[in-house]
Amino acid sequence: ERLDGRTFSRQRLLVVANRLPVSAIRRGEDSWSLEISAGGLVSALLGVKEFEARWIGWAGVNVPDEIGQKALTKALAEKRCIPVFLDEDIVHQYYNGYCNNILWPLFHYLGLPQEDRLATTRSFQSQFAAYIKANQMFADVVNKHYKDGDVVWCHDYHLMFLPKCLKEYNSDMKVGWFLHTPFPSSEIHRTLPSRSDLLRAVLAADLVGFHTYDYARHFVSACTRILGFEGTPEGVEDQGRLTRVAAFPIGIDSERFIRALEINPVQVHIKELQETFAGRKVMLGVDRLDMIKGIPQKLLAFEKFLEENSDWRGKVVLLQIAVPTRTDVPEYQRLTSQVHEIVGRINGRFGTLTAVPIHHLDRSLDFPALCALYAVTDVALVTSLRDGMNLVSYEFVACQDLKKGVLILSEFAGAAQSLGAGAILVNPWNITEVANAIARALNMSPEEREKRHWHNFTHVTTHTAQEWAETFVSELNDTVVEAQLRIKQ
Ligand code: G6P
């Protein structure tokens, strides 16, 4: 019998992700403050409310001492969060190394690291070992807190081994795994030395979810081509055991943004921004400072636009919020310098004594400031080279009641499949095409803007994070029931 989402909302949900929705900052030997973590995964998970959920993950800091660990565990418990403590070496090899220097670029089609093959191969081995070890540490914490009947929902590329580790503990555990990045073509995945181990470990889950149908299809192809398993419309089958594979496009808590626009601090920010940028059109980019976000390409397109549209110079400003991320990974450090250099050059070329065309910030904004910025924006630029979904595009749309602004969106973001009809879709590698899209967006008639906005707004407000979570969990419950029925038959 199929139960509905409301019934599931009383079911305990253990949400396991590398990064907890809050990150910890140490204030003293036993005192901590917590702030909301950055990234799409957290933005969506914060919208999942109607479950009895516990979060298990890393708080983003190294806490070597017992006093600190105890105090942090207590502080996190108030937010229903349970920490997994990772030491510096594990963070270096697992998080900076295997997760963010190998899996992240590979899954976004940027390939494996190329410098010094031999060194890479050697460190690859130890990084992979650290990856398995870290996944086992997560499994230990989950196992400690697990109660019969709980649903365990594992998230993202950091935890591909977790389903396997959990099922080894307890084969009755209901385990789902969801990937927040793209899953690349099997031809890309097969370059990874540990390609088979990772696929097998994920297949230990009962249900495997992706943002789009294409990612799910790539995953199934990888399993059939690399492991020789059977791909069926339901998922992947091996010796009579089915792992269900499906697409579950994520959303945001749109109400949270819409309501925020009414509150006083946001209204104050909106006024300030309107005064500051009076007489100029506002263009906005909000990204983690990550190579997949295509920030250099976006800046070059804006430069080309200014080059070719001299009448717009001085009448438009690009506000680029670049949230620092994974700053210990050399590739991210190189990107930061590259972006700064391009911004400097463009401002030098097109700025005046009193105004510059690009305002670039290397930091995050608090929630009221972010909502206000979305609200005053005329054109948002989301030009990721690849992106699992990209929820900045959703957040922007939710806040656009005032302006009915235009979304320029990369066709390589998962969101292109849901917001494609309302946005102007671009190939972010094609600088000329993006420059032309900017001109088109700035000159678009109010009628066309309104029409496009409503298309996107309807989608964003009906496909929410809560609905996403309910659909996934309900499908996971059904999958397990069906598997039990199959065994009985
Ligand atoms: C992406 C990933 C998340 C990650 C986030 C922030 O959205 O899919 O798993 O949490 O980026 O990155 P960070 O490395 O800071 O956790």
First to last CA, the chain: 17
Average pLDDT over residues 224-248: 97
Q: CA 400 → CA 270, 367, 410, 413, distances in Å?
A: 12, 15, 19, 20
Query: Which of 19, 211, 332 should be mutated for ligand 1, with most atoms under 8 A from CB?
Result: 19
pLDDT band at 1 (very low <50, low <70, confident <90, very high): very low
**Cα of 39 to ligand 1 centre, how many Å?**
5
| 40 ligand 1 Cβ < 6 A | yes
The answer to whether 257 and 395 have CB atoms below 8 angstroms apart is yes
Decide which of 402 and 246 is more confident.
Answer: 246
**Cα of 455 to ligand 1 centre, how many Å?**
28
| 323 ligand 1 Cβ < 6 A | no
Residue 228 has pLDDT above 80, yes or no: yes
Residue 116 has pLDDT above 60, yes or no: no
Residue 6 has pLDDT above 70, yes or no: no
Q: Whose CA is nearest to atom 1 of ligand 1?
A: 39
Q: Whose CA is nearest to atom 14 of ligand 1?
A: 326
Q: Residue 15: what pLDDT?
A: 96
| 287 ligand 1 Cβ < 6 A | no
Q: Residue 123: what pLDDT?
A: 83
**Cα of 298 to ligand 1 centre, how many Å?**
21
| 156 ligand 1 Cβ < 6 A | yes
Task: For residue range 95-109, list pLDDT tens digits in order.
Answer: 999 999 999 999 999
Residue 118 has pLDDT above 70, yes or no: no
| 244 ligand 1 Cβ < 6 A | no
What are residue 231's DSSP bridge partners?
A: 236
Closest approach atom of ligand 1 to CA 156? 9
Closest approach atom of ligand 1 to CA 325? 15
Task: For residue range 13-41, list pLDDT tens digits in order.
Answer: 999 999 999 999 999 999 999 998 887 78
Maximal C-alpha separation, the chain: 79
How far apart CA 332 and CA 324 sit, in angstroms, is: 9
Q: Whose CA is nearest to atom 8 of ligand 1?
A: 180
Average pLDDT over residues 321-329: 94
**Cα of 88 to ligand 1 centre, how many Å?**
18
Closest approach atom of ligand 1 to CA 155? 9
| 39 ligand 1 Cβ < 6 A | yes
| 211 ligand 1 Cβ < 6 A | no
CB 150: neighbour CB atoms within 10 A? 17
Q: Residue 39: what pLDDT?
A: 78
Average pLDDT over residues 270-284: 98
Interface predicted TM-score (ipTM) of this complex, two decimals: 0.98
| 384 ligand 1 Cβ < 6 A | no
Percent of the chain at pLDDT above 70? 96
Query: What pTM value is reported for the model?
Result: 0.95
Residue 164 has pLDDT above 70, yes or no: yes
Q: Residue 168: what pLDDT?
A: 98
Instruction: Answer positive or negative: Cα dihedral of 231, 232, 237, 242.
Output: positive
Residue with tokens 């300030």: 272
Q: The tokens of 175 are what?
A: 């385990």
Q: Residue 3: what pLDDT?
A: 41
Helix (H) or strand (E) holding 207: strand 207-210
Closest approach atom of ligand 1 to CA 158? 9
pLDDT band at 295 (very low <50, low <70, confident <90, very high): very high
**Cα of 463 to ligand 1 centre, how many Å?**
22
How far apart CA 443 and CA 154 sit, in angstroms, is: 45
Residue 119 has pLDDT above 70, yes or no: no
Q: Residue 2: what pLDDT?
A: 36
Tell me the three state secondary structure of residue 353: coil
| 389 ligand 1 Cβ < 6 A | no
**Cα of 290 to ligand 1 centre, how many Å?**
10
Q: Whose CA is nearest to atom 11 of ligand 1?
A: 39
- 330 burial (CB, 10 Å; 0-12 / 13-18 / 19+) is exposed
Task: For residue range 177-186, list pLDDT tens digits in order.
Answer: 999 999 999 9
Residue 351 has pLDDT above 70, yes or no: yes
The answer to whether 245 and 236 have CB atoms below 8 angstroms apart is yes
